[in-house]
A and B are shown apart, each in its own frame.
Chain A
Amino acid sequence: MGPNPKMRKEFFDSTRSSPFPDEVLERVLSLLKSHKDLSPEIVARRFPRVKSVTLKGKPRFSDFNLVPENWGADVHPWLVVFAAKYPFLEELRLKRMAVSDESLEFLAINFPNFKVLSLLSCDGFSTDGLAAIATHCKNLTQLDIHENGIDDKSGSWLSCFPENFTSLEVLNFANLNTDVNFDALERLVSRCKSLKVLKASKSISLEHLQRLLVCAPQLIELGTGSLMPELTACQYAQLENAFNQLKNLSTLSGLWEASAPYLPVLYPACTNLTFLNLSYAFLQSHELESLLCQCPHLRRLWVLDTVGDKGLEAVGSNCPLLEELRVFPADPFDEEVIHGVTEAGFLAVSYGCRRLHYVLYFCRQMTNAAVATIVQNCPDFTHFRLCIMNPGQPDYVTNEPMDEAFGAVVRTCTKLQRLSVSGLLTDLTFEYIGQYAKNLETLSVAFAGSSDRGMQCMLEGCPKLRKLEIRDCPFGNAALLSGLEKYESMRSLWMSACNVTMNGCRLLAREMPRLNVEVMKDDGSDDSQADKVYVYRSVVGPRRDAPPCVLTLSGL
């Protein structure tokens, strides 16, 4: 009995004979991937020796509250099987799983060699669970708590690391809000001489930061706490000194409440930066520019749209090596606010940063012409995620749909693996995608399309399509059913607020018994409507941990 989250597990193909000794095999075991949905028992049976596991649970749209909270993806049954079959498990990375404090305690106690724990976008646990990990995992090297729905009770979990514990290399607790026990943190950082990554939470003040940096000049990645101005001149000088000692810093993040007067204190540490994450810092364009001048080797940059187009011009001028840009909206829900970035900023970046291959761009206006120019400047895009925040918004200059923009993207960017579309889009967009996007694996579609044909084009066209997420589009049963064979080669399909009915889903389930067709209904909706549909292949049939609101349709 257990859940069937999507599991990407790393294992070695056991059908191959191997001349290698066990130690080597165990390392190599980490290299293969499986994308079918499996149960813990099957995994344990097929893959006898595993040191490192990555589990991804809920559909990605659970990040945006579209998936019922109790949908499943509970890690506990997995842990129970692993404790029996892989007692020497060393690494566990969980994404979008339901994780309880009990599970964390179980993990901490049952795996004596446990070294690496990474929780991303998970929920269900509290700082008590972290306390259990700190208390029992004597060999822990990495604790990475990132963007989870965590019940933050207090910072005393940090005191749970024993005084003789020195193995930590990665500590990321940026997720948390409450005050941490700073003295315990300082002692921990001082004695863990191998600490390479430290990402602090907002509660860590500048004064605290200075003391931590003094203990850990060897850091490669730093997430500061709050940068709120509060230091005396003397303290400021000390902090400057501390940053001066960070010769090896390649990643800088945090910077909550960063303000202009204090940014210069970071400059000495910026020389070797390759990744600068300013996505929680409300910076203006000139502040960004001053900072960027200090970072000649920048490859990845995350910013808030408070920097404006002018700030992005500065990016174009100062970051010739840039490969990845993410621009997040500071105030996404206030539609009255005029700020943020436009097509002009994106254009400016594309002229200056020809190596750009990953972009995530939230904006309030865009044009077809701009996008066409952008991809001409930067034809190597592998990830193109454009979010025009007003659903269904046309090219603001010509008032036409944004079809030609995405047509240009798929035609020009032959290496494209991931695409998110937005704006007013007709079926033409999907004709282009189906026709040209030969390497596309992940596609996200919202408020787009004119008819079933749109979805058909996607399913008939993209040979490498693995994940298709669709919301609020006029695609119905004909569209859903046009992808029957396709779904078996795909990891998953998500469709919500479309035109699919229960009958359509039943038909799909009947025709394709190796697929799980899950339907989630919204309150008060029509009986015949399939409000949310999640389709994925499975070798174990319907999962038994689905809550009542999730109906798994079976063809049997």
Chain B
Amino acid sequence: MSSIPKEHDYIGLSESPAMEIISDKLSPSSTSSSTLTAVEKHSSGSSKNNNTSLNLKETELRLGLPGSQSPERKPTVPAAGVSLFGKDIDTNNANAYSLNPLKNLVSGAKRGFSDALDGSTGKWVFSDSNGSEKSRVAGPANKDFAQSPKPVQDKNSQVAAANENSSAPAAKTQVVGWPPIRSFRKNTMASSLVKNNEDVDGKSVYGCLYVKVSMDGAPYLRKVDLKTYGNYLELSSALEKMFGCFTIGQCGYHGLPARDGLTESCLKDLLHGSEYVLTYEDKDGDWMLVGDVPWDMFTDSCRRLRIMKGSEAIGLAPRAMEKCKNRN
């Protein structure tokens, strides 16, 4: 069984260039017709790659206005101008305006996506609206602009008129001057973080230790700072909070120093009892079950985390056992 997880492109989203193209065309100087053409061209190219297992209507892009209400759904429209997923937005609100759609492409999308998932799968809800992978956001926008030309045309002039022109290049998702932090602090923080992240073996004596966390079935990656947790229990409850309902096998956790590592029977329980298990890629590039080594050793060697379906993780067991045995 392959130990390297595949990154599934669940929504048939293409990489960030799509977003750049769209945002270019939404800039104030473009005309609506050229916007449409460019997007249509692009979307026809990528439609072949779509994984259409999702309800497309849910992912339809509408160019909406902040503060406007969705007539059919809960009024949870983000203040941002664009919601990529699952929101019908009233585009006739004369008083409203659009922010630079690019800026809000991502933020609106993140919120929208979580709402869509909430509705359609009921399975997991992102409790905060962070963590969408920027490159994946672009897809539906790309694809569905063609399907809803009217909003784009109507709103383009308002977009142009009310744009806060930021000198940020198209691909940037940051808003100028937001969050409101003074330059001195920004620069100081930035240089400290760079220093930490450049640490060759990934371990920082001070500062943060970020690793990516992916979950099978979720198109979004998160990053966590392992230094904020003191043991496996804290990590697993934090991840459960983040990724909603799934259960991580409790073997080796609860502060047990895991001197013994995972025992064979423990492993079996683990994999058959829970729907998902928490795995990590270690320094050697191997995928291991989390909990097999003492916590400090784990933070030292963990490169990334993956919340894997229990059934898939069974394949890890033999290797995990081997490594355990070697250590003991």
Contact = CB atoms under 8 A, between A and B. Distances in A.
Interface of A: 61, 63-66, 121, 147-149, 175, 228-229, 256-260, 279-280, 282, 284-286, 306, 308, 328-339, 342, 362, 364-365, 387, 389-394, 396-397, 399-400, 424-426, 444, 446-452, 471-472, 474, 476, 496-497, 499, 522-526, 528-529, 531
Nearest to B193: A331
Contact of A450 (B78, B95, B207): B95
Interface size of B as a range = 35 or more
A280 B80 CA distance: 32
Nearest to B65: A474
A153 B262 CA distance: 57
Nearest to B188: A280
Contacts of A387: 179-180
B242 A338 contact: yes
Given A364-B130, A387-B179, A472-B99, A148 B221 contact: no
A279 B184 CA distance: 12
B193 A330 contact: yes
B177 A336 contact: no
Contacts of A332: 179, 181, 186, 189
A362 B185 CA distance: 14
Shortest beta-carbon contacts, A-B, top 8: A392-B79, A497-B164, A64-B177, A522-B165, A450-B67, A259-B206, A365-B128, A147-B184
B230 interface: yes
B162 interface: yes
Contact of B67 (A396, A451, A531): A451
Interface of B: 28-29, 66-67, 74-76, 78-80, 95-97, 99, 104, 106-107, 110-111, 115, 127-133, 160-167, 173-186, 188-189, 192-193, 196, 205-208, 210, 212-213, 221-225, 227-228, 230, 238, 242
A259 B127 CA distance: 31
A282 B207 contact: yes
24 contacts: A64-B177, A65-B177, A65-B183, A147-B184, A148-B184, A257-B207, A258-B206, A285-B228, A330-B193, A332-B179, A336-B133, A342-B128, A362-B179, A390-B107, A391-B80, A391-B175, A393-B128, A425-B79, A448-B79, A525-B165, A526-B28, A526-B160, A526-B161, A529-B161
A305 to B, nearest CB: 10
A380 B212 CA distance: 41
Given A64-B178, A338-B225, 12 more contacts: A64-B182, A121-B182, A147-B182, A257-B206, A280-B192, A335-B130, A335-B132, A336-B212, A339-B228, A392-B79, A399-B76, A400-B75
Contacts of B107: 390-393
A391 B178 contact: yes
A336 B222 contact: yes
A61 B99 CA distance: 19
Q: Residue among B180, B189, B207, B208 with the most chain A CB within 10 A?
A: B180
B161 to A, nearest CB: 6
Contacts of A524: 28-29, 165
Contacts of B183: 63, 65, 149
Contact of A339 (B181, B224, B230): B224
Given A257-B192, A306-B225, A391-B175, A286 B230 contact: yes
A364 B182 contact: no
Contacts, number: 203
B23 to A, nearest CB: 14
Given A337-B223, A365-B127, A391-B79, A499 B228 contact: no
A229 B177 CA distance: 35
B179 A389 contact: yes
A64 B179 CA distance: 9
B175 to A, nearest CB: 6
Contacts of B111: 393-394
A496 B224 CA distance: 35
B223 to A, nearest CB: 5
A282 B206 contact: yes
Given A282-B192, A330-B208, A426-B67, A446 B164 contact: no
A338 B179 contact: no
A339 B79 CA distance: 24
A66 B106 CA distance: 22
Given A330-B208, A365-B127, A524-B29, A336 B225 contact: no
B223 A338 contact: yes
B242 A474 contact: no
A63 B180 contact: yes
A284 B222 contact: no
Contacts of B129: 365, 390, 393, 396
B179 A497 contact: no
A338 B193 CA distance: 15
B99 to A, nearest CB: 6
Contacts of B193: 330-331
Given A474-B96, A525-B163, A333 B206 contact: no
A446 B160 CA distance: 20
Contacts of A148: 184
B189 A331 contact: yes
Given A282-B207, A286-B230, A336 B160 contact: no
B165 A531 contact: yes
Given A331-B189, A336-B222, A474-B95, A65 B28 contact: no
Contacts of A390: 107, 110, 128-130
Given A337-B210, A451-B67, A229 B228 contact: no
Contact of B189 (A330, A451, A471): A330
A464 B169 CA distance: 41
A284 B207 CA distance: 9
A263 B312 CA distance: 45
Q: Residue among A364, A393, A531 with the most chain B CB within 10 A?
A: A393
B67 A399 contact: no
Contacts of A61: 177
A1 B163 CA distance: 36
A452 B94 CA distance: 11
Contacts of A328: 181, 185
Nearest to B166: A522
B108 to A, nearest CB: 8
Given A529-B161, A531-B165, A400 B208 contact: no
A328 B189 CA distance: 10
B215 to A, nearest CB: 12
Contacts of A334: 223
Contacts of B76: 394, 399-400
Q: Residue among B99, B178, B192 with the most chain A CB within 10 A?
A: B178
Contacts of B97: 474, 499
Contact of B180 (A64, A121, A229): A64
Contact of A364 (B128, B184, B230): B128
Nearest to A257: B206
A452 B95 contact: yes
Given A257-B206, A391-B107, A525-B28, A147 B79 contact: no
Nearest to B182: A63
A399 B177 contact: no
A425 to B, nearest CB: 8
A524 B128 CA distance: 35
A523 B167 contact: yes
A396 B224 contact: no
Nearest to A334: B223
Contacts of A531: 164-165
A335 B131 contact: yes
A405 to B, nearest CB: 15
A250 B74 CA distance: 52
A451 B165 contact: no
